[in-house]
Structure 1
Amino acid sequence: MIVSLTPNPSIDRAVFIDALNRGEVHRCTGSRIDPGGKGVNVSRAVAAQGGQTLAVLPSGGPEGHLLEQLLTDAGVPHVGVPVAGSVRMNISVLEPDGTTTKLNEPGPDLSNEEAGALLSATLERGAKADWVVGCGSLPPGAPTELYAALVTHVRARGGRVAIDSSGEAMAAAVAARPNLIKPNHDELAELVGHALPTLRDVRDAARDLVADGIDIVAVSLGGDGALVVTVDECAHAIAPISTPLSTVGAGDCMLAGLLHGLSLGLDPADALVMGVTWGAAAVTLPGSRVPSPTDLAGIRAELTRTPDLIRTIAS
């Protein structure tokens, strides 16, 4: 069982156009809406692959009702914690070559009481979970230490906790020593305070975090695949996609596959292969759709335990 906490979920509306031209009227060629937010996407991906999951999220306003209905329709078990504000609506503008322009709203203001209720609901539902994962940005008003508190409480009772966030919230969580973190390339550079132009730089930064007490550091690198680092090994996996449709949620699907693999008892490198396969499959789908088992057909992730450390990471 994977229990996800998404403090700032969203309704994700994807609109498809031929080309984005600033200041002009565009006629969309199509659109779709999906439940969104990093942790929500993790639970959606796990559920789509037949795994056990539960999504914990704030729910408020008409958007909150719609979000919960979309999750119900998708067969994703969830707990909506009532909040006074409305869940945000995010817009992704997608062009035929896969270029994605995102417009993300800030989300509702959370009171300390609402943030505390979210944390309590997650800890209660995650008491017997294989993994508890806190994902995404924090909405206005939420304490910076929300994820750090999640880490402290889960680890105190012997559970496993993963974090995928950025900025101050991520830094605070890392200081609390989660079992696993999943930054992307930019988020890792922000976390360590310097640029990481090569795979060697990424590996070294991840090794430093492992030395500081993180069991597993998994770094998503977009078209350059992903790297996983533990105290014992460093492995790289990549699954090239020739015709990407949308990158929205791909990193979340990668994390979902990684955690699912770990919950099945795979070692981190083999779990990374599962994660990269799920993430690559997501790139072939429109909007923020998550892959079903049939979408994984034809996706082949290549794993090496001796990465090409001089490889330059695309910015």
Structure 2
Amino acid sequence: MRPRKPGVVTVTLNAAIDQTLECPGFTAGAVNRVVAETRTPGGKGINVAAFLAGGTRPVTAAGFLGEDSAPLFEALFRERGIQDRCLRLPGSSRVNIKVVDRTSGAVTDLNLPGLRVPEEALDALMKTLDALAEENGCFVLSGSVPAGVPANIYATLTERLRAKGAVVAVDTSGEPLRHAVAAKPDFVKPNAHELSELVARPLTNAGEVARAARELHAGGIGLVVVSMGADGALFVSDDGAWRALPPPVEVASTVGAGDALVAGVLAARLDGHGLETCARRSTAFAAGKLAKVGPVPPAPERVAELLCAVRMHPLGQG
């Protein structure tokens, strides 16, 4: 996974504002009091761009933003030095509400619908990505697909960008993931539930998850990473297979943890590291992010501390 061109482009079709509400003792159907609230720009590709920014490669964010909520995203892009090639659509980007009850550890998600994307906007995005492929060698296609966009969009983009010599990573779910896998991107990162849906069978333990990941790899996907929350992640490539288990950490927010894992994997692989190092580094990076609210990368010294505490287990050929 060593593209000829240095730049990384993340594509977010369904950007979101992540609103986190801290509500001790949250109870459905009752009056609840919120003790703290944060709003951060999000969407999977936006998060990946924020985590990769400040590294050795230029980072560009592409996709769609609602005009009314664009200033929040523009402030992030300026702060992190991310090139803004997102197309603006009338209205507001969707809001994802996460209600956090620290007393019980429960988290409740309320995801509002996003913008409808007209056909002409999708055509404009295709042209934008074609132009970006002239100077950028890696594309990250991630997140849900908004209304007006066909479910095979990531497959279409994968084929189009790989034909231009780009490395393509995909992180999505459901039908968009099913279509994308058929187009054989270079890297996919489902979570265990998404992988179970994809292979149409329950995956009840790490061994079953590993077998399903190997099936994707055998089907032509160079790197398969499966996130399993506190149970770590599985990494499968031509270099072998590993399970990485993170150390216990204080959790401020799980929003964006999977995106931090994607960013960590890409940063390590694009720098030429082998699978074991990639797994260890990305797991430490994702674990460090858990202490942050929003797309805020952990400090390098914190990642270095966590690197030593990540437990690595090679997986057999089963």
Q: TM over 0.5: same fold? A: yes
Q: Paired residue for 1:298?
A: 305
Q: Which of 7, 25, 46 in structure 1 is aligned with 2:13? A: 7
CA distance in 2, matches of 1:28, 1:75: 33
Structure 2 counterpart of 1:4, one-letter code? T
- Give the stretch that moved more between structures: 73-82 or 144-153: 73-82
Contact 1:12 1:89 in 2 (8 A): yes
Residue 203 of structure 1: aligned partner: 210
> Of the candidates 31, 35, 38, which is equivalent to residue 44 of structure 2?
38
Aligned 8 A contact 2:244 2:312 in 1: yes
Query: Is residue 152–residue 176 contact of structure 2 (8 Å, CA) maintained in 1?
Result: yes
Tell me the equivalent position of 1:16. Answer: 22
Identity of aligned residues (%): 34
Query: Residues 187 and 222 of structure 2 are in contact (CA less than 8 Å); yes or no, is this contact kept in structure 1?
Result: yes
For 2:42, the aligned partner's letter is: G
Q: Is 1:235 matched with 2:242? A: yes
Q: Structure 1 residues 26 and 143 mapped into 2: Cα distance closer, same or farther (>3 Å)? A: same
What is the alpha-carbon distance in structure 2 between the residues aligned to residue 174 and residue 252 of structure 1?
19
> The residue matched to 1:299 in structure 2 has which SS?
helix
Quote the residue 1:64 is aligned against: 70
CA offsets per residue over residues 140-187 of structure 1, 9 Å max, x none? 111112111111011112221010000111111111110110000101
Long gaps (5+) in structure 1? 311-315
Q: CA deviation at 1:249?
A: 0.6
CA RMSD in angstroms, aligned pairs only: 2.2
The alpha carbon displacement at 1:51 in A equals 4.9
> What amino acid is aligned across from residue 36 of structure 1 in structure 2?
G
Select which of 119, 128, 137 maps to 2:135. Answer: 128
Contact 2:51/2:297 (8 A) holds in 1: yes
TM-score by length of 1: 0.91
Pairing 1:269–2:276 present: yes
Distance 1:139 1:240, change over 3 A: same
Q: Distance in 1 between matches of 2:180 and 2:304?
A: 36
1:147 partner SS: helix
Distance verdict in 2 for CA 1:285–1:49, change over 3 Å: farther
CA–CA separation in structure 1 for the residues paired with 2:136 and 2:213:
26
- Supply the AA of the counterpart residue of 1:220: S
Q: CA deviation at 1:58?
A: 0.8
Please point out which of 95, 108, 112 is paired with 1:105: 112
1:184 to 180, 191, 194: 191
Shift of 1:111: 1.2
Per-residue deviation at 1:116? Answer: 2.4
The count of residues paired between Structure 1 and Structure 2 equals 310
Give unmatched runs, 5+ long, in structure 2.
Answer: 1-6
Taking structure 2 as the reference length, the TM-score comes to 0.90
Conserved? CA contact 1:211–1:231, under 8 Å: no
Seen in structure 2, the aligned counterparts of structure 1 residues 294 and 115 have a Cα distance that, compared at 3 Å, is farther
CA distance in 1, matches of 2:107, 2:58: 30
Q: Which of the pair is proportionally richer in strand?
A: 2
Which of 138, 145, 148 lines up with 1:138 in the alignment? 145
* Pairwise CA distance, 1:197: 1.2
